[in-house]
Amino acid sequence: MVNRIRILGAKKLSYARRIVLINSVLNTLYSYWAGIFLIPKAVIKRIEAICRNFLWDRSSDYHRVPLIAWDTVTLPKEEGGLGIKKAETWNVAIIAKLVDWIYGKADRLWIRWINQIYLKNGDWHNYKPSADAAWAWKQICKVKELMKSAYIDSQWTHDITGYTVRQGYEWLRHSQPKKDWSIAVWNKWNIAKHAIITWLYMNKGLNVREKLHRIGYCQEKTCCICEDADETVEHLFFNCNYSRQLLQCIETWCGFKIDVNMNVTGRMGVKSQAHAMIWSACCYYIWQQRNNARMNGVLIRPATLAERMVKEAKHIIRSMVGRNMQRGDRDWLNKWGCVHSIVGQQSG
């Protein structure tokens, strides 16, 4: 895993790309071994440390304090996390597939061997391994004890189609209440880098001055942009005068008031997706300008920044809107000058 991080050239990767690589590359490496035996806890901790350090600091080594706790990061996106698998729970869920095979007496040579050597046609549900049993077999029996309450009459009770690793993982982990804002943050219209900053904002993970001052890292705690109040997350989004001006410019263009809390329930239509995309872009650019003000002492005027955001929003909407869009939605977006090209293509 460490070698892969070095090969990937992580220094140039954004948060969004690092998340993809953790799920598709790093987690795949340990998943192979996780399907063979229970990985020792010390190794599991090292695996999670590598993934955590790679996410927050582009390296396999610890150099930077994580912005969000790993237990939150490994939650599903709808529960406020990033959807990265928790290594230990995933390991148990994969081994539980072997437990399910024994429950179902699958037609496999390994199952026949287990029955001949250990079970001897006994009751698997209440089976206890002997003291001289192999270590790997004891680990499988340990997983069986964790999973046995989910089986009745040797049947997986949570789905009639039978056990899957994904179902086992969901059953093992402790579910959290769903976040109303998660649908808006991970809306498919949002640019990935915008969504990550918005996710950090909603989880209060951004290193604002007030937070840095509280832990002794920064002497000043006034807002980098307006210098009129303490720089808290609540002030920056959207009580700062600069943030309010930017929001007003954007609301003038789109013609509706933006809900800065973005609590969404149910399915998102075209209007709510466009709304969420604009809200996410506002969060990203406010944070970008805050960093510019802190590092370089430079700030783009809200009106100029709004013009840049409008151009970006039009480009995104034109690329996302499909040909089967309802007429009312098309007319609504047409007021923004976003669907002229699509209408022309349909007329042609």
Q: Could you read off the pLDDT of 45-104 as tens digits, one per residue?
A: 999 999 999 999 888 888 888 999 999 999 999 999 999 999 999 999 999 999 999 999
pLDDT digits (tens, 9 = 90+) for 203-225: 999 999 999 988 888 888 999 99
Looking at residue 347, what is its pLDDT? 39
94 shares its domain with 78: no
Looking at residue 127, what is its pLDDT? 94
What does 150-164 look like in DSSP terms, one character per residue? GEETTEETT-TT---
Q: How far apart are CA 51 and CA 59, in angstroms?
A: 9
Phi, psi of 217 (to 5 degrees): -95, -20
Q: Is residue 329 part of a domain?
A: yes
The closest alpha carbon to 5, from 40, 53, 43, 44, belongs to 53
Choose one of 85, 104, 128: the last residue of a domain.
Answer: 85
Looking at residue 9, what is its pLDDT? 65
276 shares its domain with 308: yes
Choose one of 29, 59, 85: the last residue of a domain.
Answer: 85
Q: How far apart are CA 72 and CA 59, in angstroms?
A: 20
Residue range of the domain that includes 35: 2-85
72 shares its domain with 206: no
Mean pLDDT, range 281-294, rounded to an integer: 93
Q: Is residue 177 part of a domain?
A: no
Q: In angstroms, how far is CA 161 from the centroid of its own chain?
A: 28
208 shares its domain with 331: yes
Q: Using CB atoms within 10 Å of the CB of residue 13, give its burial: 0 to 12 exposed, 13 to 18 middle, 19+ buried.
A: middle
Looking at residue 330, what is its pLDDT? 72
230 shares its domain with 293: yes
pLDDT digits (tens, 9 = 90+) for 192-203: 999 999 999 999
pLDDT digits (tens, 9 = 90+) for 320-341: 766 566 777 777 777 666 654 4
Q: Is residue 284 part of a domain?
A: yes
Q: Is residue 194 part of a domain?
A: yes
**Residue 158: Cβ within 10 Å count:** 13
Residue 239 has pLDDT above 80, yes or no: yes
**% residues pLDDT > 70 (the chain):** 92
**Residue 129: Cβ within 10 Å count:** 15
Mean predicted lDDT score pLDDT of the chain = 87
Choose one of 24, 58, 85: the last residue of a domain.
Answer: 85
338 shares its domain with 196: yes
Mean pLDDT, range 19-31, rounded to an integer: 89
pLDDT digits (tens, 9 = 90+) for 116-150: 999 988 899 999 999 999 999 999 999 999 999 99
Q: Is residue 10 part of a domain?
A: yes
37 shares its domain with 68: yes
205 shares its domain with 299: yes
103 shares its domain with 123: yes
Residue 291 has pLDDT above 50, yes or no: yes
pLDDT band at 345 (very low <50, low <70, confident <90, very high): very low
69 shares its domain with 138: no
Q: Is residue 142 part of a domain?
A: yes
Q: How far apart are CA 330 and CA 334, in angstroms?
A: 6
290 shares its domain with 223: yes
143 shares its domain with 232: no
Q: How far apart are CA 175 and CA 193, in angstroms?
A: 27
Residue 261 has pLDDT above 80, yes or no: no
Q: Domain count for the chain, please give it.
A: 3
